[in-house]
């Protein structure tokens, strides 16, 4: 099943964030939702809850470059 267009847009934002921050998709899912498979499931067509969408957006807008650097090390 393909992801819903709104989920596709969210995945594009996540991909951009991960690429710029050097965060793996698994690490992103773990930090946001304590779920390392979050991104894979969204790609397969799962619909996130509104709470999960809010967590994702809040995380991407509030995490600092310094926090990202510390997590990578």
Helix, strand, coil shares of the chain, percent, nearest 5, are 75, 0, 25
What pTM, to 2 d.p., does this model score?
0.83
- pLDDT mean over 37-43: 96
Which band of pLDDT confidence, cut at 50, 70 and 90, is reported for residue 36?
very high
For the chain, what are the domain ranges?
5-72
Q: What is the pLDDT of residue 63?
A: 82
**Strand, coil or helix: what is 44?**
coil
């Amino acid at each position: 099943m393909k992801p819903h267009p709104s989920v596709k847009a969210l995945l594009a934002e996540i991909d951009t964030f991960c690429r710029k921050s050097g965060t793996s998709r698994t690490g992103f899912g773990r930090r946001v939702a304590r779920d390392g498979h979050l991104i894979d499931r969204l790609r397969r067509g799962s619909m996130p809850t509104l709470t999960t969408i809010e967590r994702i957006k809040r995380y991407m807008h509030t995490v600092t470059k310094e926090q990202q650097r510390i997590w990578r090390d």
